[in-house]
Structure 1
Amino acid sequence: MSDMAQPVLALEALKKSYNIGKPNELEVLHGIDLSIKRGEFTALVGPSGSGKSTLLNLLGLLDQPTAGELYLMGQPTRTMDDETLTAMRSRHIGFVFQFHHLIPAFNVLDNVLMPMMIRHGRPNAEMRERALQLLDQVGLLKFTDRKPGDLSGGQQQRVAIARALMTRPDLILADEPTGNLDTQTAAGVFDVFRQFNEAYGCAVLIVTHDPRLSATCDRTITLIDGNIASDVHEPGNTAQTSKPG
């Protein structure tokens, strides 16, 4: 797992169709070949309707392809049952969405602990320590007892990132995570993703419509009409987003 060249995800001729066998059958993805390695910091861009959300659902094992294969950590997943897929997703993937989906009745610390509660029940001291460390890293240690409604949008998204990292995933999938934030706050949230990418070597794939943010990534995949139109690598990209004041 320490090998930075180890593919976290590998897609081979991946296709996805809806309404199969019906007159309105529609193929959304037309045979995607793609590999994402440990430590890669990647943007997925493309116009509305290009298939980004469909692809992201497949990458996150939230949906199954119609044809082709998706390998997660070297394991073929297409024929896995729901229980195995759930276990693979829980172990290897962290999700951050445009809407943070924090639980309003829980405080910040318990929201971050939620993935461990789901997996193990009552969190132990080690889990609480890990959650506190993550909150410290996103600059929210002093807000552990606050409810999400008492935080700004940017702060809530930082809590969501800390929550996604609780399981120490190999891959972070982020769907428009800065879509509801102003430019300065978005840049700060983006910097948090980069911080964890560099600190832990987890692969990060971010769907974004913001060209300023995608320009700071090491790799940009452009999806158009269900096909990869371009896949540009710029390893060691030194472009910096502006940090919040």
Structure 2
Amino acid sequence: MVDDSSPVLQLDGLRKSYNLGKPTEIEVLHGIDLCLQRGDFACLIGQSGSGKSTLLNLLGLLDSPTAGELTLLGQPTAQMDDDRRTALRGRDIGFVFQFHHLIPAFSALENVLMPLMVRTGKPTAEHIAQARGLLEAVGLGQFTERKPDQLSGGQQQRVAVARALITRPALLLADEPTGNLDSRSAEEVFALFRRFNREFGCAVLLVTHDPRLAEQCDRQITLADGRIVEDVRR
């Protein structure tokens, strides 16, 4: 069992370069140190080209650093093989993107169940009840059988939030999750992150260009030219 007092995520000297060994080699991240604790509700902000997307890919174990270490729930990951990284990502990290990436042919319920179906195959009755409960929690209990094209943009994004939470991840990464939503829907989705952060204790890192949302986060981490230049707790 993981010690609840230990960090969810610890970065030590994380670096990322592209085109290694070539004349066009470029280092995008220059030694990132960062710690996220359980219950943290933080945002990552910075100009385009600051390295936010690169850092988020590393945090989500979608890419490997060139140097440094990323420790998730006490497990060093930099030298993990792909199978172990995939298993850790599927179990302990939830993702919400700007585009919801729902499967058009699947119902809302089936889309929420997808992470568990990928891991275990056919969902159990317990899994289905859990997915229904999450859809209820995001205000879509009456829409479980609707396909994505029968839902509004805000409703689709709420399905994506429920899908990200079905595994009860320790870390929730959200990449511009309200970027395609109107102001009201954006506030509703943000409120869901807040609610589940409190109820589940998952650490939340939200990448956003919306200053209104950034101001509502407990912690603002500013990235510039591949370095963290400010990390402010409120």
1:219 and 2:215 correspond: no
Equivalent runs, 1:124-139 vs 2, <5 Å: 124-139=124-139
Alignment match, 1:41: 41
Alignment match, 1:70: 70
Alignment match, 2:53: 53
Unaligned runs of 5+ in 2: none
Q: Is the 8 A contact 2:112 2:166 kept in 1?
A: yes
What is the DSSP-based 3-state SS (H/G/I as helix, E as strand, rest coil) of the residue aligned with 1:14?
strand
Q: Is the 8 A contact 1:38 1:202 kept in 2?
A: yes
Alignment match, 1:191: 191
Amino acid of the structure 1 residue aligned with 2:89: R
Q: Is the 8 A contact 1:4 1:201 kept in 2?
A: no
Structure-2 separation of matches of 1:184 and 1:108? 21
1:29 and 2:29 correspond: yes
Structure-2 separation of matches of 1:104 and 1:195? 27
CA shift digits 1:15-70 (9 cap, x unpaired): 00000111111000000000001100000000000000000000000000000000
Equivalent runs, 1:68-147 vs 2, <5 Å: 68-147=68-147
Structure-2 separation of matches of 1:186 and 1:216? 13
CA shift digits 1:86-115 (9 cap, x unpaired): 011011100000000000000000000001
CA shift digits 1:180-204 (9 cap, x unpaired): 0111110110000000000010000
What is the DSSP-based 3-state SS (H/G/I as helix, E as strand, rest coil) of the residue aligned with 2:8?
strand
Structure-1 separation of matches of 2:195 and 2:65? 32
Amino acid of the structure 2 residue aligned with 1:102: L
- Relative to the length of structure 2, the TM-score reads 0.98
Superposed CA RMSD: 1.0
Alignment match, 1:16: 16
Amino acid of the structure 2 residue aligned with 1:25: E
| Count of matched residue positions in the alignment of Structure 1 and Structure 2 | 234
- Relative to the length of structure 1, the TM-score reads 0.94
What is the DSSP-based 3-state SS (H/G/I as helix, E as strand, rest coil) of the residue aligned with 2:222?
strand
CA shift digits 1:133-180 (9 cap, x unpaired): 000000000000100111111100000000010111000000000000
Q: Is the 8 A contact 2:2 2:73 kept in 1?
A: no
Structure-1 separation of matches of 2:169 and 2:185? 25
Alignment match, 2:202: 202
Structure-1 separation of matches of 2:221 and 2:47? 12
Amino acid of the structure 2 residue aligned with 1:191: A
What is the DSSP-based 3-state SS (H/G/I as helix, E as strand, rest coil) of the residue aligned with 1:7?
coil
Shift of 1:2: 8.0
Alignment match, 1:241: none
Alignment match, 1:239: none
What is the DSSP-based 3-state SS (H/G/I as helix, E as strand, rest coil) of the residue aligned with 1:173?
strand
Shift of 1:5: 3.6
Structure-1 separation of matches of 2:54 and 2:169? 21
Q: Is the 8 A contact 1:45 1:221 kept in 2?
A: yes
Amino acid of the structure 2 residue aligned with 1:198: R
Structure-1 separation of matches of 2:84 and 2:222? 31
Q: Is the 8 A contact 2:58 2:65 kept in 1?
A: yes
**Identity between Structure 1 and Structure 2 (%):** 67
Q: Is the 8 A contact 1:39 1:203 kept in 2?
A: yes
